Amino acid sequence: MSSIKEQVIAQKKGQYSEMDDKYLSVLKQYNCDLNDEEVAAEVKKILDEKVAENETMEVKKFLFGSIELTSLHTEDTEESILKMIEKVNQFAKDYPQLPHVATVCTYPNFAGLISQSLEIAVVSGNFPSSQTFIEVKIAETAMAIKDGATEVDIVMPVGKFFSEDYEGLCDDIQELKETCGEHKMKCILETGCLKNCSNIMKASILAMYSGSDYIKTSTGKEKISATPEAAYVMCQAIKAYYEKTGIQIGFKPAGGINTVHDAVVYYTIVKEVLGEKWLTNQWLRLGTSRLTNLLLSEILGKEIKYF
C-alpha cells in the first residue's frame, strides 16, 4: 500500500501535468539556473564600486519620497492609525521643501479610515501567510478596494511554489489582480523563504507573468527579509521580463531596511541593473517605517522623531 505522501505526489502529477507544461515553458524563456555564489560576487562588486557615489542628499530626498509608511502591528488601533495619518497630512505644511512619502500601508480594515484623506496601500489575501481559500482572499481584497484602497500588496502562495503547483500559484495571483482591476497590485515573494537565487528568479517570473504590477521582497514577518542578493535577482528578472514583453514592473524591497545605508544599497542595485527609468517613486518603493525618521534626520542634519 502506497504512503500518503506517494498518493499526494501521484495525484499532483496527474492533476497538474498539462498546465505545468505551460508554466515550465514560460520559465524556460528566462535564465533561472542561477548560482548563489556568483550572484553574491556580482552584488558585492556593485556595492563596492557604486554605493559611495549614491550617498548624496539628492538620493536621500528621493528615497524619502519613495517610502511606503507602514504600520502592520497586531496592536494597531483606529487611534494609532489616525495619529499616523495626521502626521502625514501635517508633514507637507511643516516641511514644504521635502517630498511627501509615496503612500501609507496598513491592514485592509483601516482602508476606509485612511482613504478619506490619503491614498492608501493595504496588505491583503490573508497577509502574511497567504494560507487560506482563494474566495477569502478575493473577498478581503474586494472589500478593501471598496473602502478606498488604491494599491494592494498580496503574498505569493509559497507553499504552492514548493509543491510546484505553478497553475494554482498563478491562478491565485491572476484572480486577485482581476479583483484589483485598475488598482496597482504588488506581489510579495517572501524571498527569505525561497532559499536560493534560482527560486527567487522563478517566483519573480511567475508573479509578473500572472499580472503583478510590482514584485516585493518580503512581508517583514519572517526571520529573513529583504537582502541585496534577492533584490539583485528580482531586478534582473524585471529587466529580462521588460526586454521580452515591453511591460515595466515596479520593485519594492521591504523588511529589514534598518538604516539609510540599507536604502542606498537598494537604490544602487536598482540603478545599476534597471537604470534611470526605474528611479521614480512610481517604480521604486521602500516598505519601511523606521527609515522615515532616519532619512529625515540625515536630510535636516539633526535628530528628528517626526513619525
Residues marked active site are found at 153, 216, 252
- Burial class from Cβ neighbours inside 10 Å (0-12, 13-18, 19+) for residue 67 reads buried
Nearest CA to 187 among 221, 212, 220? 212
Half-sphere exposure of 146 (CA within 13 A, CB side): 8
Q: Do the Cβ atoms of 19 and 233 come closer than 8 Å?
A: no
Contacts of 122 (CB under 8 A, 6+ apart): 105, 106, 107, 108, 110, 111, 144, 149, 151, 152, 153
Burial 214-237 (b: 16+ CB within 10 A, else e): bbbbbbbebebbbbbbbbbbbbbb
